[in-house]
Homo-oligomer: A and B are copies of this chain.
Amino acid sequence: MTRDLGFAQLDLDRERRQGLAEIVYGPGKTPAQVVAIVRELLAHNTGPVLVTRVEPADAAAVLAEVPGGTHHPDARLLVWRPALAREFAVVVVTAGTADGPVAAEAAGVATAIGLGVTRVSDVGVAGLHRLLARLEVLRAADCVIVVAGMEAALASTVGGLVAVPVIAVPTSTGYGAAFEGVTALLGMLSSCAAGLTVVNIDSGFAAALAAHRMAR
């Protein structure tokens, strides 16, 4: 169940255990290492294989060696064998345009692993009518992922408007007292809206995987 590549021990059992093969975190790995890992995962699993946070040059190098994949540059993502969409609707909401890359990662991963994704962008509470105009979309979701930096007030506001699970992703957007996402993180954890859950700063990936666990 474990494949020893020397620099890595691949957990080939994960697809059976959790319904999804190990997803490869790109930073700190050479293209050659990524190629070796992806080949093993494709060979020993049947579902989607993903690499996250991949730089454009590395993406090209890997795809040249392992054809059949797709590069999603906005989401910094490589995908082989994307899953068919299941009936589980995820809405990914952002507070501002600067939260876009994290939302793209969340949406890209969620789509690749078979969730249905809708995006609602730039509806922060400074102009509340923008959010209220999208209430129908939000309330039709099975799960809402809120991506917000700075003070992240959007998470609490959405949490009070919908009944489904809300996964809050703090982003490192902002400066000064935003402290690289720490303020957003603490605000989401202290939310007055009951039953929100929170993942790591800038981790669109973690939010998508949390939605995947719910969709089973």
Contact = CB atoms under 8 A, between A and B. Distances in A.
A190 B212 CA distance: 18
B175 A2 contact: no
Nearest to A16: B163
Nearest to A127: B11
B125 A197 contact: no
Interface residues of A, number: 92
B196 A14 contact: no
Contact of A97 (B29, B123, B157): B29
Contacts of A174: 190
A125 B201 contact: no
Nearest to A19: B163
A75 interface: no
Interface in A136-187: 150-153, 155-157, 159-167, 170, 172, 174-179, 181-187
A192 B18 contact: no
22 contacts: A2-B130, A2-B133, A6-B121, A8-B121, A18-B163, A28-B98, A33-B97, A124-B156, A125-B125, A125-B153, A151-B151, A151-B152, A152-B187, A153-B157, A163-B213, A176-B181, A176-B190, A185-B189, A186-B187, A189-B199, A194-B205, A195-B211
